[in-house]
Amino acid sequence: MPGAGGRDGPPADRDAPPAACAVAVDVALLTVRAGTLQLLLVEPDDDRLAGLLALPGRRVRDEEDLDDTAHRALAELAGVHAPDAHLEQLRTYGDPARDPGGRVVSVAYLALTPSPGEPSPRRRAGFIDVGRLDPVGHTDASPPLRLAYDHLRISLDALERARAKLEYTALASAFVTEPFTLAELRGVYEAVWGVALDPANFRRKVTGTRGFVVPTRELAAPGPEGGRPAKRYRRGPAQRLHPAMLRPA
């Protein structure tokens, strides 16, 4: 609701003044590296949070659009400059107690990018395998990850959003660089969903969905052990998949 200036009518209806309010943006950036889905995390500067990891996040500046804050958080805190990344709002987390230091309403974003070739992030930032977010099944070699604030919940929500959106949108191509092979695209689904897909049926589904991918005339170089060269494709204009590509039960 806008109208902060003068909308709320007679004094009896007027809301309480804003007092100590803060709006921030936190970004859950997912990428596929080495066949696994990974999440970008940073070490908070706050010493009171030593030993914890957090999503990159920044306060929203005056006159700054929320999307710009998201890009700035990635750049300033993780050295990630990804202007072409897919960026969408996840949801807004507004529990009054979510930050013990004061009320902060956080607009969480989901970002999807192809894997940066190098371990790009400068600063104290890096990618973790999303499997380490799972509250169960940890080992000595992979202790349970501790995230600051409610960032574990945000991360899990982002993960579920990404998994769900692969089903009914063409978003998987946001994880690969153009041009790409269908094996690469299939690898995205397999990494995000954690399942193996039948290459033949996957191909039939993808190429049979109008506008999902468009073929080029290029061929990819085979791997070191040979194999038929794969055709390369680019993203098509389709946003939604009809019908959806359902996760195997």
Partner DNA sequence: TCAATAGTGTCTTTTAGACATTATATG
Partner DNA sequence: CATATAATGTCTAAAAGACACTATTGA
> Which residues are at the interface with DNA (CB under 7 A)?
181-183, 198-201, 203-205, 207-208, 219, 222-231, 243-246, 248
* Closer CB to a second copy, 164 or 196, in the complex: 164
Query: Minimum Å distance from CB 72 to a second copy?
Result: 9
Say whether 201 sits in a helix, a strand or coil: helix
Q: Where are the beta strands (DSSP E) in the chain?
A: 23-33, 36-42, 57-59, 86-93, 105-112, 125-129, 213-219, 231-235
Look up residue 173 and give its two tokens. 């191509």
Distance of closest approach, residue 165 Cβ to DNA, in angstroms: 16
**Half-sphere exposure of residue 235: CA atoms within 13 angstroms, side-chain side:** 14
Can residue 209 be called a binding residue for a second copy (CB under 8 A)? no
DSSP 75: H
Interface with a second copy includes 59 (CB under 8 A)?
yes
Query: How far is residue 13's CA from residue 15's CA, in Å, rounded to a whole number?
Result: 6
Q: How far is the CB of 249 from DNA (least distance, A)?
A: 7
Q: How far is CA 7 from the centre of its chain?
A: 36
Out of DNA, a second copy, none, what residue 231 binds, judged by CB under 5 to 8 A for its kind, is DNA
Burial category of 191 from C-beta neighbours within 10 Å (exposed 0-12, middle 13-18, buried 19 and up):
buried
Minimum distance from residue 62 beta carbon to DNA (Å): 48
Cβ partners under 8 Å of residue 189, min gap 6: 166, 172, 195, 197, 202, 245
* 216 is a contact residue toward a second copy (CB under 8 A): no
Site string for a second copy, 100-139 (x = CB under 8 A): xxxxxxxx--------------------------------
Pick 91 or 205: Cβ nearer a second copy: 91
Give the pair of three-digit tokens for residue 238. Answer: 């389709």
Which residues in this chain contact a second copy in the complex, by CB under 8 A? 1-10, 13, 15-16, 18-26, 44-46, 48-49, 54-66, 73, 76, 89, 91-92, 94-96, 98-107, 148-150, 167-168, 242-244, 246, 249
